[in-house]
Amino acid sequence: MSNPKKTNIYQLLQQNQLQSLKQLAVLIDPDSIESEDELVKILSLCSIAKVDFILVGGSLITNGFWDKCIEIIKLQTNIPLLLFPGNIMQTHSKADAILFLSMISGRNPDLLIGKHVLAAPLLKKSGIEIIPTAYMIVDGGNLTSVMYMSNTTPLPHDKNNIAACTAMAGDMLGLKLTYMDAGSGALNPISASMITEVKSQINGPLFIGGGIRTQEQAIAACQAGADVIVVGNAFEKNPDLIFSLTQAVHSLNS
């Protein structure tokens, strides 16, 4: 059951990919937001900067701000909101879509199928658009929350062939989007050469995130083959970066 009033996010991603349009997504972790006012300010910056997507998710939600956070985002902006869930409680019927993550870089069965079985009936009832996503964690030089919480070993930073074969398998399994993530706050973003090799093995859109802090890093990831750059941590520290990084990514589209 899909909600006919909502934009089909996957179609939008495919259209952009066909036109080689590079896009930027801001990751909002509700647990890192200190007040509703702070969230409204970030959303205002996102709207002015013409951010393409907002992702919402986090490894832990300890402040009870999940539902309210999503309601405020939907009230304050028209930017498509994609759930990027850290666990099965992170759903919401007002979101435009959910990245239904299979953590194919790891060998934790719960994150390959177990949690999906629990979430499936709730998601079906919500009518939210489901985007089957090949989620690949790559070592970014430090132990990030996602690595610890997922109880998985990340792909080695310099093993492009393992990353490429993993992405190839995800594509063969029918996963429609690939998200390579060095983890929030990673010391080193994913290398351009790994992005290029993975991109050559998949058909769907490629999201790249983790440790991207500068215009140069965002541009390098796009030029290597990323369709969507995801940035969270850097904006939490300096929200004004939303302008410069979005501008850098969009400058590749002219």
Query: Which positions touch ligand 1GP (CB under 6 A)?
Result: 27, 181, 183-186, 209-212, 230-234
Report in angstroms the alpha-carbon separations of 53 from 91, 96, 201.
Answer: 17, 10, 24
Angle, helices 160-172 vs 192-199, to 10°: value is 30
State in angstroms the smallest separation of the CB of 249 from ligand 1GP.
13
Minimum separation from the CB atom of position 48 to ligand 1GP (A): 20
Nearer to ligand 1GP, 52 or 181 (CB): 181
Distance CA 240, CA 242 (A): 5
CB of 183 to ligand 1GP, least distance (A): 6
Q: Which residues make Cβ contacts (< 8 Å) with residue 143, sequence separation at least 6?
A: none
Alpha-carbon distances, residue 140 vs 97, 184, 208, 229 (angstroms): 27, 9, 12, 16
Q: Could you give the CA distance from residue 79 to residue 58 in angstroms, rounded to a whole number?
A: 19
> Is the Cβ–Cβ distance between 178 and 167 less than 8 Å?
yes
SS3 of 23, please?
strand
In degrees, rounded to 5, the angle at the alpha carbon of residue 48 between the alpha carbons of residues 58 and 51 is 45
Q: Smaller CB distance to ligand 1GP: residue 172 or 187?
A: 187
Minimum Å distance from CB 146 to ligand 1GP? 6
Nearer to ligand 1GP (CB atom), residue 8 or residue 108: 108
Confirm if 138 and 105 have CB atoms less than 8 A apart: yes
Nearer to ligand 1GP, 8 or 239 (CB): 239
- Our CB check for ligand 1GP shows the closer of 8 and 244 to be 244
- Minimum gap (Å) between residue 140 Cβ and ligand 1GP: 8
Nearer to ligand 1GP, 167 or 230 (CB): 230
Give the nearest distance from C-beta 124 to ligand 1GP in angstroms. Answer: 26
